[in-house]
Structure 1
């Protein structure tokens, strides 16, 4: 049995950040265990290559939800990174930090040290932002953030102008003083390559010699002595291994795998564990409070060339490939989520409640089960999308048996509340309004989905039930809070009721941030590492060192 100061389960967005900062401290032996392989694939490092990872079981858990009652009983696809870098190695790279009020609400729920001034200091510490150092951004941090406004597809400019014509303000920095308005998304790339959490944090950490990385290894159980976590058991190549932690075991498997492992280890709802023959260490609401962003799009045939025209024809492929190989520029160096922003769906709201996306690409005719970004529709096309920022529906993640290799049941319960239904209908009508602006109307040849016959609330809701999908932001299943009755970890991310065990990943979010969740997950890794080291708010501009 090997022994380490800290064992980190999961080399994903948060886990890499924790490993990097603990290694930087210079006095620990650290073991990182990842269920997937090393991040060596060219498709991981080429930004648009995530189209190849989207349905690749080698690097993607490729989860599906339980049948969703409010979505016509469909099972909704839930890709999760199963590779070094986790979901930051296979996502669309949009860098969005959430709204200040999101984190102030976390603090108000009994989590001191998690308000906006606190987390902003960690965002600034982790950033190497293309816009430079400012009260809102950091420079020189490990995670590069690119400003792509000057490199987006020309159709994206039409979307930004359409937003202005629909009454939204232009926002040149969607991570600045406010998220409100329409503009161009910032993305995690550097020099034309994906800037995953692994590239930013784990690669440098491995060079220190203080971090051991074990890949293709599934952790099957946290080992306890009484109520203290002392290590983990894991299986690699069919062989059982154990590792012991002198300090702490840190779970960073994400919103699905972390609650699954806790439940398998005896930390979870007592009735659930007993039903599956798992001895109960602590009766805890592990797996509850699952939240996710649901998205809905309108798809158009374009009257002007779109990314389809660059990525489908052989000549187009050659041109964009050459641009990437020679200069790391062009469509292959970007995400397809290039424009969008945040808006208030109705008067009287105190902050934006809806996120917009624009993609200068369509793949309506793609083979089911294939997200063929490199094989788009054989015509010019694009889509606009809307996603309510703060859904009120709550779901769960539960083990199906005591077998660690059996996929857990994932039930987000999308649209379980009338508010969530009403919000998405409102968003759908805004997409139609956006399409009627002069800027977008000038580039639309035909509305393909839902089609001009869909006009009423009932029409929109029927189409939402038939086509809405996850934006892949699951979180909240190991909720942070002071009361063990409804929270799994405290404000220091220690698991209630046991010693030597923390959760540091997106599962600790008390409520979902108003935007993409990868940046907040990395921030949690940054702050979580400081908590392990006994420091609070030590980021740039932090309250104490």
Structure 2
């Protein structure tokens, strides 16, 4: 006897999904995709006074889209907003106060609140991340939005960032929301390398010792790998073939294991099932954390300074404002600054911890004379462009079904379990010793960090990067003729360093950022070798088959110099070597040194405690003595895990209760 097929009842939502995925309702759907995710599409449709199957189906579409987008944002999963006391004279007391809910701070607050008997306050200046933050391919739309990013600029420097539209040149963007930079970055998760941590030269921080923290972190984040589309796979194979002709192989070990030689497009990312897995989302936005009554979160809180005792040797709390109202919170345990490389340094300076001469300038009492704000580092990045010829399969016209911004793609992502072009992506990286590209000996000094196909007819990348209008137009003009391959080169170990200073005593003012991208002779030489490497790559058989050749943006200052000379390229570097938004180092972990504000010394010790101040730690990327080999978000989260564990271990060593909930 054969089996009879059982027909399940089809709900309106089931019918809608079926019709959408088979294409019957795409024309109707396109009408509604443009609506803001913050506005209920259903409300717009219900205003139509009509009846019948057509309007019923459209209402079902709208309801399904709206429900899916709300579930994706899932704002109710975040800890509730804690309101400060109405009476400003009322002072709340906590065991731990964590400043900043970014990549490190979210982890610190979550880990500390696992102890039921402690009371934790988490202060974050930003708000909840919007829906765009959750969708990998839409994040870039937020990168010029001051609601979700600090759009800070450096002081003018004629030696770098001259292509920028800003009169100040270099920009230092960083996250301003729950999850911080991890809620708005490119999701790349690279732990660094054995050599990276060896150079930190700090007890407890070598490669083997940080693996325990990385392991705990990865169990929570569950990093994955993006699925590239067919066009990007062709591009990957082209780059593999061309680099192999120069003796640079595919990477033999995975990046997640610390490999740093060769090319790979298997780049680990903090994406789970098509959606972002920031540390803020993973560590804070879940039912387990919400059930903890001991974690209080205040969003929209701007911390003014850390409170210290009379002689500046003990942190006692913080002063913060919410909606212009000033409040005080005190701690019986510790204040943990996780406000990021720029803001953690600013708060220490405002609190009287920093170089004596600088603090005296602002009439701030110096409690601890430490080199806060020095050692500012960033990998930087410099784009080069290769123009495609017409006879290459890689520069094919984009398949409309693979366009992540098409209405079809948006609907597929929302209604088909986060699948489709919006959930796909492509990263390809090369780690190269620019002095001897084919040799695996010696540390790589060049990170070829991105290979991006800019399709013919697209708007290009210069507008997004913030370059001058005439350069944006020039790139768009050339993109009317053919595709461009954009290659980003980054220095793994830049010698040029910057500095963060106060611009005033007002905590709402941004810091004064002094950057010196590419000023060191060693950096200039490495960038010149990067240019020559890409030129050699364009002359390989594989690249010549695609007709790839350099495209040079028009630069009046540089174009008068001898073509392809070192002088021309040094001029190009002044224009196009710009920030990579990988700022670290302003609260360096190193032993304290006395005299001359201890310029070569550290701000925190190997347990991240601020020198000379009990109950005050810095736990974020600002403590890195040197940049890691690759993107900085993975190491920043590891610092959050390791720093939190140090606090818990120190609590246990002091015979304090450490029982988990």
Is TM > 0.5 for Structure 1 vs Structure 2? yes
- Which of 608, 613, 619 pairs up with 1:493? 608
SS in structure 2 opposite 1:361?
strand
Report what 1:132 is aligned to: none
- Which of 599, 621, 625 pairs up with 1:506? 621
Asked whether 1:14 is paired with 2:104, we answer yes
Asked whether 1:211 is paired with 2:326, we answer no
Q: 1:2 to 1:170 in 2, by over 3 A?
A: same
Question: Quick one: distance in 1 between partners of 2:404 and 2:333?
Answer: 57
Report what 2:188 is aligned to: 94
Normalising by structure 1, we get a TM-score of 0.88
SS in structure 2 opposite 1:84?
coil
- Which of 156, 159, 167 pairs up with 1:70? 159
Report what 2:224 is aligned to: 146
Residue 367 of structure 1, CA deviation: 4.0
Q: 1:130-159, CA deviations, whole angstroms, 9 ceiling, x for partnerless residues?
A: xxxxxxxxxxx1112112366572323322
Asked whether 1:182 is paired with 2:260, we answer no
Which residues of structure 1 form unaligned runs of 5+? 128-140, 537-545
Q: Is the 8 A contact 1:385 1:431 kept in 2?
A: no
Q: Aligned ranges for residues 218-367 of structure 1 at < 5 Å?
A: 218-226=302-310, 227-302=313-388, 303=390, 304=393, 309=398, 317-325=406-414, 326-335=416-425, 338-347=427-436, 350-362=442-454, 363-364=459-460, 367=463
Report what 1:131 is aligned to: none
- Which of 630, 638, 644 pairs up with 1:529? 644
Question: Quick one: distance in 1 between partners of 2:175 and 2:303?
Answer: 16
- Which of 527, 530, 536 pairs up with 1:424? 527
Report what 2:592 is aligned to: 483
Question: Quick one: distance in 1 between partners of 2:243 and 2:373?
Answer: 38
Structure number with larger C-alpha Rg:
2
Aligned-residue CA RMSD (Å): 2.8
Q: Is the 8 A contact 2:535 2:550 kept in 1?
A: no
Asked whether 1:37 is paired with 2:127, we answer yes
- Paired residues in the alignment total 517
Residue 212 of structure 1, CA deviation: 1.2
SS in structure 2 opposite 1:80?
strand
Question: Quick one: distance in 2 between partners of 1:284 and 1:244?
Answer: 24
The answer to which of 283-292 and 174-183 deviates more is 174-183
Question: Quick one: distance in 1 between partners of 2:220 and 2:587?
Answer: 27
Q: 1:366 to 1:296 in 2, by over 3 A?
A: closer
Which residues of structure 2 form unaligned runs of 5+? 1-90, 163-167, 468-474, 652-661
Question: Quick one: distance in 2 between partners of 1:397 and 1:143?
Answer: 32
Question: Quick one: distance in 2 between partners of 1:509 and 1:526?
Answer: 14
Question: Quick one: distance in 1 between partners of 2:632 and 2:142?
Answer: 19
- Which of 449, 468, 475 pairs up with 2:577? 468
Q: Is the 8 A contact 1:255 1:506 kept in 2?
A: yes
Q: 1:353-400, CA deviations, whole angstroms, 9 ceiling, x for partnerless residues?
A: 2111233333547547769xxx99665333112111011112100111
Could you say which structure has the higher strand fraction?
A: 1
Asked whether 1:193 is paired with 2:285, we answer no
Question: Quick one: distance in 2 between partners of 1:361 and 1:263?
Answer: 43
Q: 1:483 to 1:361 in 2, by over 3 A?
A: same
Normalising by structure 2, we get a TM-score of 0.73
The answer to which of 424-433 and 343-352 deviates more is 343-352
Report what 1:82 is aligned to: 176
SS in structure 2 opposite 1:43?
helix
- Which of 514, 518, 542 pairs up with 1:415? 518
Q: Is the 8 A contact 2:404 2:410 kept in 1?
A: no
Question: Quick one: distance in 2 between partners of 1:222 and 1:208?
Answer: 26
Q: 1:6 to 1:311 in 2, by over 3 A?
A: farther
Residue 328 of structure 1, CA deviation: 2.2
